[in-house]
Structure 1
Amino acid sequence: MSKKLTISSIKKSKGVKPLVMITAYDALFASLLSESADILLVGDSLNMSFAGKKDTISATLQQMIYHTNAVCAGAPESFIVCDMPFGTYVTKESALENAIEVFQNTSADSVKIEGGADKAHIVKYLTDNGIAVCGHIGLLPQSVRSEGGYKVKGRTETEAKELLADAKAIEEAGAFCMVIEGTKADVAKEVAQSVSIPVIGIGAGADVDGQVLVFSDMLGLFEAFTPKFVKKYLDGASLVKEAVAQYAHEVTNKKFPAEEHTY
């Protein structure tokens, strides 16, 4: 990236250039990812990838602030979105209070909130008070327990109509873009075409306005499971294990440190 994106440039990208979004949780990987990504998302997915939890629900606001600060430090020229964790936007008042805490304590450019028409009043309250919001519709990871698992959306005509209504409600509430997750590709395409702001897909087919992946998934670092929508661009786990095994071998056999590594 040669120049940091803005809310305006992100909105203007629709129909011109697909947006590249990827998660980041620390300064090191943020600095590596920022060269290719348009947007870095500090996702509450870190609760699974790095905290070893079974879902995202127990992620806390302070946890998100900590990791967002790390990402901001590692990629100061990137547009950075911070996930609002479960329970931090139950009411519009609590949402604003918590989003203000994120903005005052990090350099994040935006927060992300899960939910459609039912959360539109909260999105509007935030945007009316100076908080930039990225929406999130379709499969909602924070609702996985109440829905009994990760279920693909848009399988029925009713679900498709609800998603269209969700997208329009979030757009009208003032969101500058939105993520659509785990949705049938034809429905996601229709959703993207129905609004004027970018719709970034994850497990939602190619006919949207951009894509987002969890970096530890696409680099093959997370081994517990691989979602259907993930393409592994690197066998990272194997490479790391091989490197560490080589290091251990050289240590136990007195091959490291060699003379060139010694003062």
Structure 2
Amino acid sequence: MLNALLSRAMSGEKIAMLTCYDATFAKLMHLAGVDMLLVGDSLGMVIQGGDSTLGVTMQDMLYHTRIVAKGAPGAVIMSDMPVDSYEHDLADALQNAQALIEAGAHIVKIEGGGHMVETARYLVENGVPVCAHLGFTPQSVEKLGGYKIQGKTEAAGQVILKDAQEMATAGASMVLFEMVPAALATHITETISVPTIGIGAGAGCSGQVLVLQDLLGIYTGPAEKNPQDYKAPRFAQNFLGQTGNIEKAIINYVQAVKCGEFPAAQHSY
């Protein structure tokens, strides 16, 4: 299933991805035409109520991957490798990645370039498909000084380009760009040999991903904070507000991605 989806992406079909954390939504999304379900460590925020992804554990990811796979056995599933599950030891990275695959994922996502290229290569060489997550990497939010756009300068953009090229060469099946300038993401998409997925990275990527709760317009920040103090990210769009129906909102998102209507200029940097 994964290889067929990658082939469609390389042939020019836009790929629509959404985050998913449970069986009910997995079934609904799959029937609505979502191409790939991302069991994201964003669950630390939208499910667990935290202010970042840093509290998410391997047990959390395994649990949610299993129930998503149960809800949509015919869907292509990507699972995030949570913080501290892959960065420090190749053997641990492989063991954890294989556990996610056994739980139902078809591909795992790791954050960062640089020394993570070798981790990606090791996983691929041992039979685990990998998606590289570049640009803003939520697991490094403290090092990055908050939720900030990445790749704004020429030098920073060259680093992201180099990381993407090296990840593709190492065997990564996909590259995801978060919060990078649209022109940069488009240029890299045209340069590398694997599909790209964007979130806050413009319409020039091979596909798009949104957090489900952002698509539904129901996320209002960490549990302990006043919802009135929360400002939705620029790249989010409330599709539910346009329809009043969850299933139709997801269908509209898929159609908007497929035809290139989403993301529009106002969703990009």
The interval holding the TM-score normalised by the smaller chain is 0.7 to 0.9
Would the aligned equivalents of 2:5 and 2:35 in 1 still touch at CA under 8 Å?
no
Q: Does 1:164 align with 2:161?
A: yes
Q: CA shift at 1:118, angstroms?
A: 2.4
Would the aligned equivalents of 1:11 and 1:176 in 2 still touch at CA under 8 Å?
no
> Alignment partner of 2:131: what SS?
strand
Between 91-100 and 121-130, the greater mean CA deviation after superposition: 91-100
**Cα separation, partners in 2 of 1:11 and 1:164, compared to 1, 3 Å:** farther
> Alignment partner of 1:163: what SS?
helix
2:114 aligned partner: 117
Would the aligned equivalents of 1:185 and 1:204 in 2 still touch at CA under 8 Å?
yes
Match of 2:132 among 123, 132, 135: 135
> Alignment partner of 2:236: what SS?
coil
In 2, the alpha carbon distance for the partners of 1:59 and 1:7 equals 29
Between 90-99 and 35-44, the greater mean CA deviation after superposition: 90-99
1:30 aligned partner: 26
- Residues 28-47 of structure 1 show CA distances to partners (whole Å, capped at 9, x for unaligned) of 11111112210000000011
> Alignment partner of 1:179: what SS?
strand
- Residues 78-110 of structure 1 show CA distances to partners (whole Å, capped at 9, x for unaligned) of 000110000001222221121122223x12111
Match of 2:97 among 74, 82, 99: 99
Q: CA shift at 1:150, angstroms?
A: 1.1
Q: CA shift at 1:235, angstroms?
A: 3.5
Q: State the identity as a percent.
A: 40
> Alignment partner of 2:34: what SS?
coil
User: Which residue identity is paired with 2:101?
Assistant: F
Higher CA-based Rg = 1
User: Which residue identity is paired with 1:222?
Assistant: Y
1:230 aligned partner: 236
Would the aligned equivalents of 2:175 and 2:195 in 1 still touch at CA under 8 Å?
yes
1:10 aligned partner: 6
TM-score, scaled relative to structure 2: 0.83
Q: CA shift at 1:239, angstroms?
A: 8.8
In 1, the alpha carbon distance for the partners of 2:104 and 2:182 equals 34
In 1, the alpha carbon distance for the partners of 2:9 and 2:185 equals 18
> Alignment partner of 1:192: what SS?
helix
Q: Which runs of 5+ in 2 are unaligned?
A: 222-229, 247-269
1:179 aligned partner: 176
TM-score, scaled relative to structure 1: 0.85
In 2, the alpha carbon distance for the partners of 1:189 and 1:154 equals 13
Would the aligned equivalents of 1:11 and 1:177 in 2 still touch at CA under 8 Å?
no
2:202 aligned partner: 205
- Residues 200-222 of structure 1 show CA distances to partners (whole Å, capped at 9, x for unaligned) of 00000111100000011111121
Match of 1:146 among 134, 143, 147: 143
In 2, the alpha carbon distance for the partners of 1:207 and 1:141 equals 22
- How many residues get paired? 234
Match of 1:41 among 38, 42, 52: 38
1:88 aligned partner: 85
Match of 2:16 among 20, 26, 35: 20
Would the aligned equivalents of 2:149 and 2:180 in 1 still touch at CA under 8 Å?
yes
In 2, the alpha carbon distance for the partners of 1:211 and 1:163 equals 18
Structure with more contact order per residue of length (Cα contacts < 8 Å, sep ≥ 6) = 2
Output the aligned Cα RMSD.
1.7
Would the aligned equivalents of 1:11 and 1:197 in 2 still touch at CA under 8 Å?
no
- Residues 178-232 of structure 1 show CA distances to partners (whole Å, capped at 9, x for unaligned) of 1110000111111111101100000001111000000111111212231111011
